[in-house]
Amino acid sequence: MYQEVDMAKLNPESVVILQKDDLAKLLNILRSHSYQTIGPTLRENAIVYDEIQGMEDLPIGWTDSQEKGSYRLEKRNDDAYFGYNVGPYSWKTYLSPARVRVCNASRSENGFNVVQETGNAPNYAFIGVRPCDVKAIKILDKVFINDFCVDNVYGNRRKQSFIVAVNCTEAGNTCFCSSMGTGPKSEEGFDLCLTEIVTEQSHFFVTEIGSDKALEVLEALSPQTASESEIKEAERRIENAAQSMGRNLNTDRIHDLMFDNYRHPQWDDIAERCLSCANCTMVCPTCFCNTVEEKTDLEGDNAERWRIWDSCFTLEYSYIHGGSVRHSTKSRYRQWMTHKLASWHDQFDTSGCVGCGRCITWCPVGIDITEEVSAIRNSSTVPEETVDQPR
Amino acid sequence: MKGSMQPRRFRIDKVYWETDDTFTHELIPIDEGRFFNFHPGQFNMIYIFGVGEIPISICGDPDINTRLYHTTRVVGDVTKRKQHLKVGDLLGIRGPFGNGWPVEKAKGRDVVVIAGGIGLAPLRPIIYHFLNHRDDYESITLIYGTRSPDKILYRKELEEWSSRLDMDVSVTVDAAGRTWKGPVGVVTKLIPRIISNPDNSTAFVCGPEIMMRFTAVELLKRNFAEQNIFLSMERNHKCGIGFCGHCQLGSYFLCKDGPVFSYDKLKSYLSLKEV
Ligand SMILES: Cc1cc2nc3c(=O)[nH]c(=O)nc-3n(C[C@H](O)[C@H](O)[C@H](O)COP(=O)(O)OP(=O)(O)OC[C@H]3O[C@@H](n4cnc5c(N)ncnc54)[C@H](O)[C@@H]3O)c2cc1C
Ligand code: SF4
Ligand code: SF4
Ligand code: FES
């Protein structure tokens, strides 16, 4: 049934089969190509991304059960490698770290010298990137690498990264990637994309090859091409995820819906519940805002500037002399959701939300972006003073 | 350089105190490159060693690229430390950032420059520009409003401009003692006096947001077209290069799409609170 793939002829669109043991080998190959391999691990009662040395570091046989404001780990009745959805961390942790030094200066006579940064960045291979998160990385690419400017921090890390995506065969309760057109199957933006198939008798991965880099890496494994039935089985399982999506968000005219409803009373309703804790922005795989902190040593001879994650939910975020522009929780939540679902389209020609559901799961009071959009949609009236569309 | 958060160093060559709380630095580049080119209305991120970085408009003559000028009003942490820097001290500059005033849109037209308070600083380069290219424009009018006579910036330039026959300058103050001979009241009060030809006029406005809102309303009442009124907006800035998110106003990033917009692009936001 299987035939050896002639690596010379394999085109990047090819689909091959990697057996369970091949994955361990793949990891070793990546590590020997000097990639730091990052993947899902069990920590702090959650599945979080961290360095993995081997496949035994994955949360094998575990799954997660998510609901608004709740996340629980559970045992599966199989030994799936990737039998869960997304946890509280996302890949932005590695591509635009929560804390990174962006400038380093030392005191000199009358002033200071700037120590030139080397621009060295780690080589990451991301193992187990979900389709929604693959799309989130594509979105961050637009934010940090564009015609206007290229961010050194993100740009250097990103150009070296290797992405092993994993399609979803089961959806979580807070997932709505189908609505956002980002999953449960990844279409592009990966080097390799796996669909895991575990049965009583077998455990293998239907693997799409998305780049020349990936071809090179696979060479040593000489994988076999996938049969039609294997590809069908992978598709059936992905379809299963699409059918079991826990949530749904109607994106019809979403841009205008947000901009037309700046004055909607639902924002007040949300403000009654929202703690302005910023959790939603921290867990969101596309929220990119940051601030810069000045750190000096005790003598004041050295000063470093550190870029750290920030959130539009803080008062300082919009502070200008005289007070914060967005003083109320209402205006801050509105800023966040309007940005994710509407202004993002104007700014980056894409939604800022990929439907990963993290903000729903990790909101301490269980605010659900999909419910809030429906609430606004279901009672959207043309406001008295019609708000004109920007642009 | 772009995409980096590492500043270029400049040396303070002169310090001019404009008022009790506002000073101007004249700067000379000391790192690579002897020139600094900019468009009127652009700004720099200015770094004070060990303290922090803030956005400040460039306020010099855009046809002079060997010296850089910034006027700063002391309001908080960074500006307080900045005021104590002396001639010879170094500070860091990243920039220029922002779109600046669209001077080409005003060619062959009457130009009206309306400034409130420190808002005169980002407008000074455009006045220099109009005067350097005097023949490209019809009448030039400057209306400048400030709190009181002792808060007037750039006295020397204002006196020089006032004495010109090809430019109309009015300075008004919110409140003044007997020695003040000029008009008293907010800038909007002077607008009816000066505008004769709205169809062929372009306005450039900078000041506190509320002042700009009222000024725009007054200009619209005088039949100015929305797309001929330009405002320079203010939000928190941490990077100047589109990555920190702080400068957003609706769909705009002020550091890359702004800070200057025509009124039609802003009016939906200006009518709302806390955007
Ligand atoms: C495009 C632009 C051009 C500007 N041009 C000038 C100018 O030419 N002259 C001038 O005196 N001022 C100008 N400002 C305002 C100036 O940036 C603030 O007064 C300054 O940042 C205050 O910093 P602070 O640390 O002294 O104040 P604090 O109140 O201690 O500030 C705390 C933090 O908030 C931020 N912040 C506070 N006020 C503002 C503000 N108004 N705008 C943006 N960030 C703020 C600062 O980055 C600072 O890190 C401009 C602002 C913008 C956005
Ligand atoms: S807004 Fe919520 S659901 Fe959308 S990408 Fe961010 S965390 Fe995921
Ligand atoms: S929506 Fe929830 S997670 Fe986000 S700031 Fe409000 S309380 Fe925190
Ligand atoms: S100042 Fe950072 S995005 Fe504009």
Q: Quick one: A157 and A43 in the same domain?
A: yes
> In the CATH hierarchy, which top-level class contains the domain B8-97?
mainly beta
Burial profile B155-180: b = 16 or more Cβ within 10 angstroms, e = fewer: eeebeebeeeeebbbbbbbeebeeee
Q: Quick one: A236 and A281 in the same domain?
A: no
Atom of ligand 1 nearest to the CA of B247: 53
Are the beta carbons of B125 and B61 closer than 8 angstroms? yes
The span from the CA of A317 to the CA of A176, in Å, is 29
What's the number of domains chain A is made of?
2
Q: Quick one: A281 and A361 in the same domain?
A: yes
Do the chains contact at B245 and A294, CB–CB below 8 Å?
no
Ligand with smallest separation from the Cα of B249: 4
Q: Is the dihedral of CA B93, B94, B99, B104 positive or negative?
A: positive
Instruction: Tell me the CA end-to-end span of chain B in Å, nearest whole number.
Output: 32
pLDDT tens digits, one per residue of A175-224: 999 999 998 999 999 999 999 999 999 999 999 999 999 999 999 898 99
B229-232, strands of its sheet edge to edge: B168-173, B140-146, B110-116, B201-206, B229-232, B260-262
Residue A383 falls inside a structural domain: no
pLDDT tens digits, one per residue of A277-312: 999 999 999 999 999 999 999 888 999 999 999 999
Helix B155-162 and helix B120-132, axial crossing angle in degrees, nearest 10: 40
Q: Quick one: A233 and A373 in the same domain?
A: no
Phi and psi of A42, rounded to 5°?
-90, 125
- Does A105 contact B at CB distance below 8 Å? yes
Ligand 1 pocket test target in B53, B73, B75 with most atoms within 8 Å of CB: B75
Residue A208 falls inside a structural domain: yes
Helix or strand run (H / E) with residue B27: strand B22-29
* ipTM metric: 0.92
Residue A384 falls inside a structural domain: no
Ligand with smallest separation from the Cα of A352: 2
The span from the CA of B229 to the CA of B191, in Å, is 13
- Kindly report the pTM of this predicted structure: 0.93
* Nearest residue of chain B to residue A300 (CA atoms): B50
Phi and psi of A375, rounded to 5°?
-60, -40
For every one of its 275 residues, what pLDDT tens digit does chain B have, with 9 covering 90 and above? 466 889 999 999 999 999 999 999 999 999 888 889 999 999 999 999 999 999 999 999 999 999 999 999 999 999 999 999 999 999 999 999 999 999 999 999 999 999 999 999 999 999 999 999 999 999 999 999 999 999 999 999 999 999 999 999 999 999 988 889 889 999 998 988 877 789 999 999 999 999 999 999 999 999 999 999 999 999 999 999 999 999 999 999 999 999 999 999 999 999 889 99
Could you tell me how many helices (H) and strands (E) chain B has, helices first? 7, 14
Q: Quick one: A59 and A187 in the same domain?
A: yes
Contact residues on chain B for A384, CB-CB shorter than 8 A: none
Q: Where in chain B is the domain with CATH 3.40.50.80?
A: 103-270
Burial profile A196-221: b = 16 or more Cβ within 10 angstroms, e = fewer: bbbeeeebbbbbbbbeeebbebbeeb
Domain that holds residue A203: 7-98+116-243
In this complex, which of B236, B272, B274 lies closest to A319 when CB atoms are compared?
B236
Do the chains contact at A112 and B49, CB–CB below 8 Å?
yes
Q: Quick one: A271 and A239 in the same domain?
A: no
Q: Quick one: A91 and A57 in the same domain?
A: yes
Do the chains contact at B251 and A343, CB–CB below 8 Å?
yes
The span from the CA of A363 to the CA of A360, in Å, is 6
The residues in A 264-293 lying below 8 A from B, measured between CB atoms, are 288-292
The span from the CA of B69 to the CA of A313, in Å, is 35
Q: Quick one: A74 and A220 in the same domain?
A: yes
Ligand 3 pocket test target in A71, A266, A277, A371 with most atoms within 8 Å of CB: A277
Q: Quick one: A186 and A52 in the same domain?
A: yes
| Cα within 13 Å of Cα(A324), Cβ side | 14
The span from the CA of B234 to the CA of B247, in Å, is 8
Q: Quick one: A236 and A258 in the same domain?
A: no
Distance from CA of A323 to the nearest CA of B (A): 11
Residue A230 falls inside a structural domain: yes
Two tokens, residue A154: 């993100």
In this complex, which of B75, B89, B275 lies closest to A111 when CB atoms are compared?
B89
Q: For domain B103-270, give the fold.
A: Rossmann fold (3.40.50)
| Cα within 13 Å of Cα(B229), Cβ side | 25
* Nearest residue of chain B to residue A110 (CA atoms): B89
The span from the CA of A348 to the CA of A341, in Å, is 11
